[in-house]
Every structure is written in C-alpha cells, then in structure tokens.
Amino acid sequence: MNEERFKVGDKVTYKSKKDCTFNSGKKGLYYYNGEEQDGYVGTIKRYVNYIKEKDCWVIDVTVDGGEYAMLECEFLEYDMAKTNDMFPIY
C-alpha cells in the first residue's frame, strides 16, 4: 500500500484526462469518469480508501463548489508559484 502523497486540506491540481489511464486502461478518462478538469485547483477533503488493483488512494476533492471522488494519482501537487506566473495578480 502506497503512503498518502498529500494531506487533507492540501490544494492539488487536476491532471488532464488525456494523461489518465486508470479507467480499465482506457486513456483519456478519469477513473470515475467526469468532465475535463485539467489545471483546476481543488482541495482534498478526505482520504476514503485504497484501491489495491489501481495501487492508488481514493480521495474526495472539491471542484466547482462540490466534492467528487477521484484517484489521488489523477492529481499533481499544486504549485502556487507556477500559477502566479500564469495568472499574475496586479
């Protein structure tokens, strides 16, 4: 069992669907399906369970005011500095 990569409350960035292959090996889908969220920043609300076959944790994470179950491996660490470079605050 892998250790949790993040902590509850951490901000994470959704990977693009094209970079995910966790749904029966099909490329271009999130494990639980859903719409493209590439680059969206969400907050981890809780760790739910570990899926041994996927070697990955299921987490509940925010998106558009709701919470969704996703695989932890469908996320990248949120990089505030990189985001500020892309979207500078004036």
More confident position, 86 or 75: 75
Q: What is the pLDDT of residues 27-38, one digit of tens each?
A: 788 888 888 888
Confidence at 65, pLDDT banded by 50, 70, 90? confident
**87 pLDDT above the threshold of 80:** no
pTM: 0.79
Q: Let me know: does 18 contact 28? Beta carbons within 8 Å.
A: yes
How is residue 2 written in tokens?
Answer: 């892998």
Q: Let me know: does 65 contact 45? Beta carbons within 8 Å.
A: no
Which CA distances in Å does 28 have to 3, 81, 88, 90?
A: 26, 28, 30, 36
